[in-house]
């Protein structure tokens, strides 16, 4: 690890993986390299600009050099169609080591300690989301649904695990798991099966008992919980009454007998007082069948102090022991699951990454490969937001995300910068800011 983390640090860390990607071409037309195609696509997503490559070709003709070359290391810019053709045969799993590389950067810099809660636990939230849908465009990796009227819709969905923490505004993207037809299976793939594959594949990479999984009610069922425990993960999962009759039969019976523990806190939200009521119990069966897994249950209800109106209510099951000392941080951790949707999926879909835009579907892996590059661009920005003082200063000054990226796009349209540091320095001088200490 160099002393300072920069965009160049990130790109140099990516180089070995990009350089080892296979080239499936058999003819003589190899003008553009596979790394050039990958870096070109990555540059589009990193700059949040679908027209970035076309603009840089104009800059090249005008100035004899361009920012795709100087900032991203693209020797020659392929056309959009050439990029799609070169990347379609490449499996997205070949890029997964880059997520581990970014984790190692955060670990080496001590940044990950800020994400530890509940006695040095990492919280990893799981959630599936769709990133492509069409009634006509399809490939072998598509899932499909047929409506009552006989209309078939083809789609791509992915499981997106992210590292979250209650006090952290950023989320750290981890390697995804694609929900796609599996060899040897007649049934369509689903989010639950994808999550089980993710645990099996990535569980061994984490030290035992250092990760607590967060998820919605889909996950709080015995097969998934048992697999999580077998992989030495912990869990805090949403638990709803309709899907967990056995848990709530025990909870309601114990409540009637005075067997539930609890506590109440008053919180001021800046406008009025709220009453936070916690209830919890340890060692209840997760299901009514034979050999049920024993779990611990907790609940938070927030009411308006003025009129008793319910503002929030949710409940969780966990394997962590519950007590008056632990139930509050446990619920706070469980509620952090929403960051996978708010700071994760919503950012990818509405904050410039165009997550659901069809950049190219392909016939093999193109849609999933491009999706993985989008996640890596998002992860790269996260690392800069956590580790790079100049990037932090500019993002803080240009508070709106779109303003920051609008400025990047405008500057790189008219000037060529030798390095990212030169570009950031130019912006800092233009904004008349005091440079951050080095």
Contact 199, 227 (CB under 8 A): yes
Q: Is residue 25 part of a domain?
A: yes
Cβ-based burial of 141 (10 A; exposed 0-12, middle 13-18, buried ≥19)? buried
Query: Do 293 and 366 belong together in one domain?
Result: no
Residue partners of 249: CB distance under 8 A and separation at least 6: none
Query: Do 386 and 288 belong together in one domain?
Result: no
Q: Is residue 270 part of a domain?
A: yes
- Chain centroid to Cα 349, Å, comes to 12
Q: How far apart are CA 233 and CA 104, in angstroms?
A: 20
Structure tokens at 333: 């951790």
Q: Is residue 162 part of a domain?
A: no
* Cα angle, residue 174 at apex, residues 169 and 180 outer, rounded to 5°: 125
Among 341, 374, 408, residue at a domain's last position: 341
Q: Is residue 7 part of a domain?
A: yes
Query: Do 76 and 18 belong together in one domain?
Result: yes
Question: Residue 186: what pLDDT?
Answer: 58
Q: Is residue 232 part of a domain?
A: yes
Q: How far apart are CA 33 and CA 28, in angstroms?
A: 12
Query: Do 325 and 391 belong together in one domain?
Result: no
Query: Do 396 and 312 belong together in one domain?
Result: no
Domain CATH number, residue 236: 3.90.350.10
Residue partners of 154: CB distance under 8 A and separation at least 6: 133, 134, 135, 136, 137, 138, 142, 143, 144
Model-wide pTM > 0.85: yes
> 283 in helix, strand or coil?
strand
| 3-state helix/strand/coil string of 314-366 | EEEEECCCCCCCCHHHHHHHHHHHHHHHHHHHHHHHHCCCCCCCCCCCCCCCH
Closest CA to 389 of 425, 415, 426: 425
Query: Do 385 and 290 belong together in one domain?
Result: no
Count other Cβ atoms within 10 Å, centred on residue 176.
25
Domain region containing 93? 1-109+358-438
Q: Is residue 436 part of a domain?
A: yes
Query: Do 332 and 362 belong together in one domain?
Result: no
Query: Do 383 and 278 belong together in one domain?
Result: no
Among 278, 309, 341, residue at a domain's last position: 341
Q: Is residue 180 part of a domain?
A: no
* Pairing relationship of beta strands 121-125 and 211-215 according to DSSP bridges: parallel
Closest CA to 285 of 316, 308, 251, 252: 251
- Total count of domains within the chain: 2
Q: Is residue 210 part of a domain?
A: no
Query: Do 373 and 275 belong together in one domain?
Result: no
Query: Do 92 and 39 belong together in one domain?
Result: yes
What tens-digit pLDDT sequence spans the chain (438 residues)?
445 788 998 999 999 999 999 998 887 767 899 999 999 999 999 999 999 999 999 999 999 999 999 999 999 999 999 999 999 999 999 999 999 999 999 999 999 999 999 989 999 999 999 888 888 888 888 888 888 888 888 888 999 999 999 989 999 999 999 998 776 555 778 899 999 999 999 999 999 999 999 999 999 999 999 999 999 999 999 999 999 999 999 999 999 999 999 999 999 999 999 999 999 999 999 999 889 999 999 999 999 999 999 999 999 999 999 999 999 999 999 999 998 888 878 888 888 888 888 888 888 999 999 999 999 999 999 999 999 999 999 999 998 889 999 999 999 999 999 999 999 999 999 999 999 887
Question: Residue 94: what pLDDT?
Answer: 96
Query: Do 292 and 394 belong together in one domain?
Result: no
Query: Do 369 and 286 belong together in one domain?
Result: no
Among 296, 314, 341, residue at a domain's last position: 341
């Amino acid at each position: 690890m160099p002393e300072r983390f920069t965009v160049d640090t990130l790109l140099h860390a990516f180089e070995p993986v990009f350089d080892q990607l296979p080239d499936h071409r058999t003819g003589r037309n190899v003008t553009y390299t596979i790394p050039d195609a990958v870096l070109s696509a990555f540059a589009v997503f990193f700059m949040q600009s679908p027209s970035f490559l076309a603009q840089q070709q104009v800059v090249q003709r005008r100035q004899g050099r361009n920012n795709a070359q100087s900032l991203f290391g693209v020797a020659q810019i392929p056309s959009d169609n050439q990029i799609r053709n070169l990347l379609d045969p490449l499996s997205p799993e070949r890029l997964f080591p880059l997520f581990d590389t970014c984790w190692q950067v955060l670990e080496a810099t001590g940044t990950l300690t800020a994400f530890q809660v509940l006695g040095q636990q990492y919280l990893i939230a799981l959630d599936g989301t769709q990133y492509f849908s069409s009634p006509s465009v399809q490939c072998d990796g598509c899932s499909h649904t047929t409506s009552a009227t006989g209309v078939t819709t083809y789609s791509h969905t992915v499981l997106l695990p992210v590292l979250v923490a209650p006090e952290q505004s950023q989320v750290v993207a981890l390697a995804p798991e694609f929900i796609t037809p599996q060899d040897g299976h007649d049934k369509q793939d689903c989010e639950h099966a994808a999550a089980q594959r993710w645990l099996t594949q990535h569980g061994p990479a984490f030290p035992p008992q250092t990760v607590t999984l967060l998820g919605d009610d889909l996950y709080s069922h015995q097969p998934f919980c048992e697999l999580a425990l077998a992989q030495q993960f912990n869990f805090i999962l949403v638990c709803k009454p309709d899907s967990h009759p056995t848990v709530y039969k025990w909870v309601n019976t114990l409540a009637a007998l005075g067997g539930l523990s609890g506590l109440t806190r008053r919180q001021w939200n800046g406008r009025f007082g709220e009453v936070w009521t916690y209830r919890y119990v340890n060692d209840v069966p997760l299901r009514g069948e034979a050999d049920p897994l024993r779990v611990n249950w907790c609940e938070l209800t927030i009411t308006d102090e003025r009129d008793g109106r319910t503002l929030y209510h949710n409940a969780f099951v966990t394997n962590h022991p519950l007590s008056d000392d632990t139930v509050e941080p446990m619920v706070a951790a469980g509620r952090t699951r929403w960051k996978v949707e708010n700071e994760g999926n919503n950012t990818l879909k509405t904050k410039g990454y165009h997550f659901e835009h069809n950049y190219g579907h392909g016939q093999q892996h193109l849609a999933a490969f491009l999706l993985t590059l989008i996640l890596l661009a998002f992860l790269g920005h996260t690392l800069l937001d956590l580790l790079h003082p100049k990037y932090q200063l500019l993002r803080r000054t240009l508070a709106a995300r779109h303003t920051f990226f609008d400025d990047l796009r405008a500057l790189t349209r008219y000037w060529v910068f030798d390095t990212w540091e030169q570009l950031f320095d130019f912006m800092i001088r233009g904004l008349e800011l005091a440079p951050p200490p080095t």
